[in-house]
Chain A
Amino acid sequence: MLGPVVAGLWGTFLPAFGHLPAAGITGPSLDPFRYLFDWAGLPRAMMLSITTGLIATGVSLLIVMLITAGWSGTRPFRLLERLLSPLLSVPHAAAAFGLAFLIAPSGWLSRLVSPGLTGWDRPPDLLIIQDSWGLTMTAGLIIKEVPFLLLITLAALGQADAQRSVAISQALGYGRLTGWLKTVFPRVYAQIRPPIYVVLAYSMSVVDVAVILGPNTPPSLSVQIVKWMSDPDLAMRLEGAAGALLQLLLVIGALVLWRLGEIAAGIIGRRWIMTGRRGRFDAVTAQIALGLGAACALAVLLGVVVLTIWSFAGYWGFPDALPDQLTWRNWMRHGPGTLEALGETALIASVVALAALILTIGCLEAEYRYGLHISQRGIWLLYLPLLIPQTAFLPGLQTLMLGLGADVGRGPVMLAHLVFVLPYVFLSLADPFRAWDTRMGTIAAALRSSPNGVLWRVRLPMLLRPVLTALAVGLAVSVGQYLPTLLIGGGRVATLTTEAVALASGGDRRAIGVYGLMQTGAALIPFALALLVPAMVWRNRKGLRHG
């Protein structure tokens, strides 16, 4: 999977130094960078990339760690766990639209309290969405990264022997939260480091959320890169490529900064442990963390609710809490368009997710049969496509394909999706696949079942639920892809996500509601099936009900 990434980076590197034979321009020259630095919006765009990335990652991590520290194993925590899969599967773009419809001056929250509490009978003149500091955009990222990091943390907790460590520290007089932070956190953090770096790189270079919630003048660096790359004037691609290279450097810089922060946190943490403080503010801190976590979950869920309402809304004047009437008209108008986009989305997602699943099972089964072990370095390799900002290598890949005369379209889009889908499918299936009791394999072989027989007749049926979950993860990731579809598809592949994001500038809330809801459904329904199908197939098999 490194091939496309490396090729893409090369395809970014050349035009950034003024070499683009397809446009009749040959280099090398530093002109693209000169133009880039002449752009008045650059310092602001760079700042936005850095602040949104660092703040979104830092705050999400803080919320997740404090919730886990204060609440793991309790009833509210289990409720949050239950909400995880649906929260995760809501695509970024839909969550961003939902948030916008909630907190905008004319959004649902303001409608609910107006004019009763606020006295507003028209939307207040506040710049909340697309604020120039990128705060709303950061919030939009946080509500989606919190469930992701929580999922990763849960997976890591299993291997950290957390419960006993916390029990011991509580017996020594430590508060639950402080005890967790001092004993479990270091182990958990070491495990979840790669996905945290992924979140940082992603938040710095995200495009769809930035288009919907981020500032316009200037936009964040990644949005501007995409603008340059989609300019009909091929020469603008040089500037875009230079920007992409700058974006890559920014991400690398931020990763280094984060690493330094880790070291500093380590030193401070060790001192804190030496002080022997037992944690006086544990209860309050845990309450606040839970409140923030619940707010994130609510923001996503209510966002989907408000998208639903808008998709059925007739006339809905300002401070009314609900529309005057509900109607099918929006669905009639946009239905045919969404169905077409849904077909394209479903086709791409199924092919890509299935391919990723087959590759993953092949890898894991080979690992089992030949006794191979994937090292820590191998894990980083798996994460690499997710660590390089999409804006850094996708434009390059597009330019390369243009240069080769390769046709843009569905096939290349699928390949590009696979680069991002495969790591998630692998990470989703690897743990349950490896946790399977290999003595089952020994028994089956002793009963004269061949290796393939063991795989098909014993292992995969027993792992039906994690296999289907991994497939659903793959589908959801593919459904949510914006940039690869837009750039590699050359604007000719219209999925629900590209169509929905394209509606952002128009501000037709009813159309956005319809497309956003369809997009959410396309990602959510596979997850529901991944829960339902095994429960039905194995309804008479108690031994698999919790597997």
Chain B
Amino acid sequence: MDKGLSLRDVTISKGGPPLLSVNHNIGPGEVLTVMGPSGVGKSTLLAFITGTLAPDFQAMGEVLLDGHDITHAAPHQRRVGILFQDDLLFPHLSVGANLAFGLQPGGTTEARRDKVNEALAEVGLTGFADRDPATLSGGQKARVALMRMLLSEPCGLLLDEPFSRLDATLRAQVRDMVFDRAKARSLPVLMVTHDADDARAAGGAIITLGD
């Protein structure tokens, strides 16, 4: 079985000529960066992979994750994690409950709480479990969002301009953390961005759309 995330002849259009076509194989621990100015359909590609493409788009091709064809799977059964430029922590849940939302079901309450605390400790946020996410700083929110996603044990990772809201110093720090975690778990990563620094830091193949 092929490990990794494969896009096989993926073509997306909106009632006209194709907006984009991609044919690429992302191996475990590799990063593919998709670049291009805003409006060329970078996020549309991610929506196709997560299964949330708006119905006015037409898409062809296949998406394979670790050898499974997930092109037509329901969004919640795809095992594809995603991070957006906003942290999108659920505002009605505490930091700990946000992480528990990502954690797969099963295990005793104590075991689950331990896992949540472990995850918080891993990103230097020990003791934050009962906090209101709205009271966290930008960098802290980004770290919680990352750990929430990783706790759901995804097999692939999508990044939708994930660092563009962070200021320069924080940006490099969060970026390294995300890529390190992905490599450590051998996750294939697909990142869309319009920032050349992000692309360079990712260190993988680069596709540029909209030329």
The interface of chain A, by Cβ under 8 A from chain B, is 370-371, 437-451, 453-454, 457-458, 461-462, 464, 538, 540-544, 547
5 contacts between A and B (CB under 8 A): A440-B88, A442-B50, A444-B76, A444-B90, A538-B92
Please state if B90 and A442 are interface contacts (CB–CB under 8 Å): no
Please state if B88 and A437 are interface contacts (CB–CB under 8 Å): yes
A446–B84 alpha-carbon span in the complex (Å): 12
Where chain B touches its partner, the secondary structure class is: loop
Which of B91, B104, B154 has the most A CB atoms < 10 Å from its CB? B91
B102 in the interface (beta carbon within 8 A): yes
Further 12 A-B residue pairs, CB within 8 A, beyond A440-B90, A541-B134, A542-B91: A439-B84, A440-B88, A445-B51, A446-B81, A447-B149, A448-B104, A448-B152, A453-B76, A458-B90, A541-B132, A544-B91, A544-B92
Where chain A touches its partner, the secondary structure class is: helix
List B contacts of A438 (CB < 8 A): 52
Please state if A462 and B90 are interface contacts (CB–CB under 8 Å): yes
Minimal beta-carbon separation of A453 from chain B (angstroms): 8
Please state if B92 and A462 are interface contacts (CB–CB under 8 Å): yes
A50–B12 alpha-carbon span in the complex (Å): 57
A543–B141 alpha-carbon span in the complex (Å): 13
Q: With A437-B88, A462-B91, A541-B91 in contact, is A448–B77 under 8 Å at CB?
A: yes
A287–B55 alpha-carbon span in the complex (Å): 50
Interface size classification for chain B: 20 to 34
Minimal beta-carbon separation of B154 from chain A (angstroms): 7
List A contacts of B47 (CB < 8 A): 442
Please state if B101 and A457 are interface contacts (CB–CB under 8 Å): yes
List B contacts of A450 (CB < 8 A): 74, 76
Please state if A543 and B75 are interface contacts (CB–CB under 8 Å): no
Please state if B91 and A442 are interface contacts (CB–CB under 8 Å): no
> Contact flags (1/0) for B56-92 with A, using CB distance below 8 Å?
1000000000000000001111111110101010111
A440–B55 alpha-carbon span in the complex (Å): 18
Which of A370, A464, A541, A542 has the most B CB atoms < 10 Å from its CB? A541
List B contacts of A544 (CB < 8 A): 91-92
A462–B47 alpha-carbon span in the complex (Å): 23
Looking across the interface, which residue of chain A has its beta carbon closest to that of B46?
A442
Please state if A540 and B132 are interface contacts (CB–CB under 8 Å): yes
> Contact flags (1/0) for B11-38 with A, using CB distance below 8 Å?
0000000000000000000000000000
A9–B135 alpha-carbon span in the complex (Å): 57
Q: With A445-B52, A446-B152 in contact, is A543–B88 under 8 Å at CB?
A: no
Task: Specify which of A442, A461, A538 is in contact with B75 (CB 8 Å cutoff).
Answer: A442
Minimal beta-carbon separation of A436 from chain B (angstroms): 11
Please state if A447 and B101 are interface contacts (CB–CB under 8 Å): yes
Task: Specify which of A370, A445, A542 is in contact with B50 (CB 8 Å cutoff).
Answer: A445
B133 in the interface (beta carbon within 8 A): yes
A2–B152 alpha-carbon span in the complex (Å): 46
